Amino acid sequence: MKRIIIAIDGPAASGKSSTARRLAQRLGYIYLDTGAMYRACALEARKKAIALEDIPAISAMMDTLDITIAQSPHGNILMLHGKDITDAIRSEEVSNLASAISAIPIVREKMVSLQRKLGRDKAVVLDGRDIGTVVFPQAELKIFMIADVEERAKRRYRELQDKGVIASYDKVLKELQERDFNDSNRSIAPLKPAADSISIDTSHMGLEEQVELLYKLALQRIRSVAPLMLAQHSGFCFGVRRAIKLALDAAMQSPDKPVYTLGEIIHNPQFVKELEEQNIHVAKNASEIIDSIVIIRSHGIAKNEEQLLIEGGNTIIDATCPYVKRTHELVQEMCEQGYPVVILGDSHHPELIGMVSYGNQETTVVAAGEEPNIIGKQKLAVISQTTQKLENLQALVDKLLPECKELRIFNTICIATSKRQDATETLAETSDLMIVIGGHNSSNTKMLHSICSKHTSCMHIETEAELDQNMISTATPIGITAGASTPDEMIIRVYNKIKQIKGESDLATSIRDIPTFKEESC
């Protein structure tokens, strides 16, 4: 993902820190609480009993001040001379002292230098009172958060009460008013919004609302910096990649023996044609194949088809996706235990045909949104096609649960599929146009198209030749996603064609050249 700097400024208790911290977590960015750094300076001055008017002493203190920020799963840990002071700096006394010490030029000079050093690699969210105006005036996104001082006083008062600190609301209000005045009227870097900042009034907003709003603004700004991006997890999934490798290896190792896949190994006509040129052929029926090498594709096959292949004297290479294999085992296990099985999915899909073959006469298939027929069933087991959406499974469970006394639910939705769908949906939310690449008969690609269509204009294509030039030329930003049967080469060709339509010359030669919407986590 394009790395940007997000600067969040505003008065005390306007919600900056909590929102910035959560925003950074959601984006996968680093969070820097610059206010905490000034608090550390204040804490050090208090410990050494240095008066703020004693500028030479303050300057000497700053020369030896050792502030470091460590990252943990729970947020930043602020270290002062190697000691954790994260909690020690949160007292009202330190807060008030921080406002005063931050107005001292030498303090600001040292802290701004350190903050710039910490944020030089971007992918960072910083909050304070001069981040967008002084520290990072070049920040790609600047937010200025405001709120009524009375509302901010209520927040700070509740926060102190939650911590068990005895406080007076009137005193808290007065201290905030004084702090606002001091911050806004100091001679060095006074509190004010940057000219290009976006002001947000949080007086009547909850934390989740604030985070959601800033998250959308951040995505829009990230997308505007890189107006053509690829959704993470696009293209071949593990199961497809494994099946193709096994087929290619078989063809290479046994050049004199026919190699077949039972059905298209992937729902991608162009790639299937390329495999055909390498003597990897497609057979439609198991009974057609005799004394050959047969690749069972990632979708899996029905039990009776496997038996026919064995009877035909074939060498079977099983490339069934492990996630699909697990559904076969669960269907059979639940039937053996006396549970009528309800399978969520498309009854015509080859994966479903294989799953149903492991069931019995009480096994039924229910499509997404369809009403299940379960009259008279006291207990049920629910299993999903691996490429379904989790919300479809949840909707089916909601329908079944009131109708039976015992319901066993197995979430067999492929993790890679879920990640692909989530990444695609997030990208679609901030794109003018989504390009979905994949076979027109691919179930998981059609699902991606359905997801994108809920949020923006969408184009489902198999090759770059199907791109609508008029739609491409007028849309910015554009997102790209690709189904599990789409090779990297096709993604590159589509990306480059879009760039050419846009009149841009920086084309990709590998998938790594294409800006990815979210950075890989593994």
Ordered DSSP codes for 65-86: --EEEEEETTEEEEEETTEE-T
Q: Give the pair of three-digit tokens for residue 86.
A: 């994260």
Beta strands 5-9 and 280-283 are unpaired
Q: Is the pLDDT of residue 137 over 80?
A: yes
Residue 73 has a pLDDT of: 67
Q: Give the pair of three-digit tokens for residue 16.
A: 């900056």
**Residues 85, 79 contacting (CB under 8 angstroms):** yes
**Across 376-389, average pLDDT:** 92
**Residues 306, 317 contacting (CB under 8 angstroms):** no
Q: Can you tell me the distance from the alpha carbon of 22 to that of 19, in angstroms, rounded to the nearest whole number?
A: 5
The 3-state DSSP class for residue 441 equals: coil
Q: What are phi and psi of 203, to 5 degrees?
A: -55, -40
Q: How confident is the model at residue 517 (pLDDT cuts 50, 70, 90)?
A: low
| HEC profile of 113-169 | HHHHHHCCCCCEEEEECCHHHHHCCCCCEEEEEECCHHHHHHHHHHHHHHCCCCCCH
Residue 342 has a pLDDT of: 97
Q: How confident is the model at residue 226 (pLDDT cuts 50, 70, 90)?
A: low
Of 351, 429, 462, 464, the active-site residue reads: 351
Q: Is the fold of 5-225 the same as that of 323-413?
A: no
Q: Considering only CA atoms, which of 320, 321, 317 is closest in space to residue 257?
A: 317
How many of the other CB atoms lie within 10 Å of CB of 298?
28
User: Which secondary structure element, helix H or strand E, spans residue 459, and what is its range?
Assistant: strand 457-461
Angle between helices 105-118 and 34-47 (to 10 degrees): 130
The distance of Cα 368 from the centroid of its chain, to the nearest Å, equals: 24
**Across 495-503, average pLDDT:** 94
In tens, the pLDDT along 304-345 reads: 999 999 999 999 999 999 999 999 999 999 999 999 999 999
**Residues 351, 386 contacting (CB under 8 angstroms):** yes
Q: Considering only CA atoms, which of 77, 81, 57 is closest in space to residue 67?
A: 81
Residue 2 has a pLDDT of: 63
Residue 64: CB partners within 8 Å, gap ≥ 6?
none
Q: Considering only CA atoms, which of 153, 170, 183 is closest in space to residue 35?
A: 183
Q: Is the pLDDT of residue 202 over 90?
A: yes
C-alpha pair distances (Å), 224 with each of 142, 424, 499:
14, 17, 15
Between 244 and 167, name the one with better pLDDT.
Answer: 244
Residue 460 has a pLDDT of: 97
Q: Give the pair of three-digit tokens for residue 278.
A: 């390498």
C-alpha pair distances (Å), 159 with each of 62, 139, 167:
31, 30, 10
Residue 326 has a pLDDT of: 96
Respond yes or no: is residue 351 known to be catalytic: yes
Q: Is the pLDDT of residue 214 over 90?
A: yes
Residue 45: CB partners within 8 Å, gap ≥ 6?
52, 58, 61, 97, 101
- pTM for the structure as a whole: 0.57
Of 1-5, 233-237, 275-279, 376-380, minimum mean pLDDT range: 1-5
Q: Can you tell me the distance from the alpha carbon of 286 to that of 323, in angstroms, rounded to the nearest whole number?
A: 23
Which CATH number fits the domain 238-320, given the four candidates 3.40.50.2000, 3.40.50.11270, 3.30.70.20, 3.20.20.70?
A: 3.40.50.11270
CATH number corresponding to 323-413 = 3.40.1010.20
Between 252 and 163, name the one with better pLDDT.
Answer: 252
Residue 319 has a pLDDT of: 93
- The residues spanned by each domain of the chain are 5-225, 238-320, 323-413, 416-513
**Across 7-22, average pLDDT:** 91
Buried b (16+ CB within 10 A) or exposed e, 19-30: bbbbbbeebebb
Among 183-187, 220-224, 393-397, 440-444, the range of highest mean pLDDT: 393-397
CATH number corresponding to 5-225 = 3.40.50.300
Q: Is the pLDDT of residue 416 over 60?
A: yes
Q: Can you tell me the distance from the alpha carbon of 413 to that of 278, in angstroms, rounded to the nearest whole number?
A: 33
**CATH 1.10.150.20, domain 416-513, yes or no:** no
Q: Can you tell me the distance from the alpha carbon of 488 to that of 466, in angstroms, rounded to the nearest whole number?
A: 17
**Residues 10, 151 contacting (CB under 8 angstroms):** no
Residue position matching structure tokens 């006083």: 153
Q: Can you tell me the distance from the alpha carbon of 319 to that of 326, in angstroms, rounded to the nearest whole number?
A: 13
Q: Can you tell me the distance from the alpha carbon of 241 to that of 412, in angstroms, rounded to the nearest whole number?
A: 20
Residue 520 has a pLDDT of: 30
In tens, the pLDDT along 462-483 reads: 999 999 999 998 888 899 999 9
Q: Can you tell me the distance from the alpha carbon of 355 to that of 327, in angstroms, rounded to the nearest whole number?
A: 7
Q: Is the pLDDT of residue 122 over 90?
A: no
Q: Can you tell me the distance from the alpha carbon of 56 to that of 140, in angstroms, rounded to the nearest whole number?
A: 37
In tens, the pLDDT along 28-76 reads: 888 988 888 999 999 999 999 999 999 999 999 999 999 888 777 667 7
**Residues 120, 143 contacting (CB under 8 angstroms):** no
